[in-house]
């Protein structure tokens, strides 16, 4: 059974710092990996999608990498801002899920950026 | 307006009530999902509908009953719930198929359910 782990569970940094969030998964047979952001009590906002054939994706100050063979992904946030404070979730779609691309989630990293 | 809309945003119901959660997607996707998010636990998949057919029922109690009348709408009917069913219920959609490529999943804002 696929397990997704995110480390650290919580992170607090001063504004302007660059930071890295980590995600690991136990079964490397995945279609893709997706990073989400969740604000308290709200839904999930998709940040980046990395296909299994890709190594990284970039969007603005965000860069996500994928090493499928080692079962790892990182989300790099450059020049962090207080508005980046949220919980960041990673999720994978397994090949075994068939035509229904359900996501298996990690528990998230709660990020606080201090002004 | 977001691509996936859920109503209501908040719901308080008694254990003997019957209520329904609604989800609507405006993205032209062919798959829709219900997830449950409880405090301190990862999101759990509940149901998957692909091309309006249920393809996954993740050992969810029968007091939760999904309905997908068309590819744009998804319901979750609730009856005789328990207090431990209190959680954030999230709907998602994506464009799925049999090919190897995975497409981005989009989520609604969720329904915060409290069972009293």
Per the structure block, which two tokens stand in for A70?
């080692």
User: Computed from CA positions of residues B61, B107, A2, A108, in that sequence, does the dihedral angle turn out positive or negative?
Assistant: negative
B interface test, pick of A26, A31, A44, A48 with most B CB neighbours within 10 Å: A44
Distance from C-alpha of A90 to C-alpha of A60, rounded to nearest angstrom:
18
Q: Cα distance from A100 to chain B (closest Cα, Å)?
A: 6
pLDDT of residue A59: 95
A82 with A15: CB under 8 angstroms? yes
Nearest CB neighbour to B42, from listed A44, A51, A106: A106
pLDDT digits (tens, 9 = 90+) for B57-107: 668 999 999 999 998 999 999 999 999 999 999 999 988 765 555 678 899
Distance from C-alpha of B26 to C-alpha of B38, rounded to nearest angstrom:
27
Distance from C-alpha of B25 to C-alpha of B34, rounded to nearest angstrom:
13
Q: Cα distance from B17 to chain A (closest Cα, Å)?
A: 24
* B92 Cβ contact partners less than 8 Å away, ≥ 6 residues apart: A44, A103, B4, B32, B33, B35, B105, B106, B107, B108
Nearest CB neighbour to A43, from listed B41, B56, B107: B107
A2 with A104: CB under 8 angstroms? yes
Q: Cα distance from B109 to chain A (closest Cα, Å)?
A: 4
pLDDT at A99 over 60: no
Distance from C-alpha of B48 to C-alpha of B30, rounded to nearest angstrom:
11
A interface test, pick of B92, B105, B112 with most A CB neighbours within 10 Å: B105
Provide the residue count of chain A.
115
pLDDT digits (tens, 9 = 90+) for A27-49: 988 889 999 999 988 899 999 99
pLDDT digits (tens, 9 = 90+) for B5-25: 999 999 999 988 899 999 999
Region class of B71: left (phi > 0), else alpha (psi between -120 and 50), else beta: alpha
Question: Please, which pLDDT band fits residue B39 given cuts at 50, 70 and 90?
Answer: confident
> What is the CB neighbour count within 10 angstroms for residue A29?
12
pLDDT at B115 over 90: yes
Q: Cα distance from B101 to chain A (closest Cα, Å)?
A: 6
Q: Cα distance from B62 to chain A (closest Cα, Å)?
A: 21
| Residue A52 φ/ψ, nearest 5 degrees | -65, -25
Q: Which helix (H) or strand (E) holds A58?
A: strand A56-59
Region class of B52: left (phi > 0), else alpha (psi between -120 and 50), else beta: left
| Residue A8 φ/ψ, nearest 5 degrees | -80, 170
Chain B residue closest in CA terms to A4: B42
Strands (E) across chain B are located at 4-7, 10-13, 18-25, 31-37, 44-50, 53-57, 64-70, 73-79, 87-94, 106-107, 111-115
CB contact (8 A) between residue A46 and residue B105: yes
CB contact (8 A) between residue A42 and residue B110: yes
Q: Which residues of A touch B88 (CB under 8 A)?
A: 41
CB contact (8 A) between residue B107 and residue A44: yes
Distance from C-alpha of B1 to C-alpha of B92, rounded to nearest angstrom:
15
CB contact (8 A) between residue B107 and residue A101: no
């Amino acid at each position: 059974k696929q397990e997704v782990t995110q480390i650290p569970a919580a992170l607090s940094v001063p504004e302007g710092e660059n930071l890295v969030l980590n995600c690991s998964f136990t079964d490397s047979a995945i279609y893709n990996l997706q990073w989400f952001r969740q604000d308290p009590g709200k839904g999930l906002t998709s940040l980046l999608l990395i296909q299994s054939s890709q190594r990284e994706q970039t969007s603005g100050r965000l860069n996500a990498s994928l090493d499928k063979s080692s079962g790892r992904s990182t989300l790099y946030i450059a020049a962090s801002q207080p508005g980046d404070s949220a919980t960041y979730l990673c999720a994978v779609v397994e090949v075994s899920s068939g035509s229904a691309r359900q996501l298996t989630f990690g528990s998230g990293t709660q990020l606080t950026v201090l002004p | 307006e977001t691509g996936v809309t859920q109503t209501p945003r908040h719901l308080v119901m008694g254990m003997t009530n019957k209520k329904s959660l609604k989800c609507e997607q405006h993205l032209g996707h062919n798959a829709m999902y219900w997830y449950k998010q409880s405090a301190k636990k990862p999101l759990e998949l509940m149901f998957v509908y692909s091309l309006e057919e249920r393809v996954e029922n993740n050992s969810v109690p029968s007091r939760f009953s999904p309905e997908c009348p068309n590819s744009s709408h998804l319901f979750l009917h609730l009856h005789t719930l328990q207090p431990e069913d209190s959680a954030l219920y999230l709907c998602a959609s994506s464009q799925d198929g049999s090919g190897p490529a995975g497409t981005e999943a989009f989520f609604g804002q969720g329904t915060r359910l409290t069972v009293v």
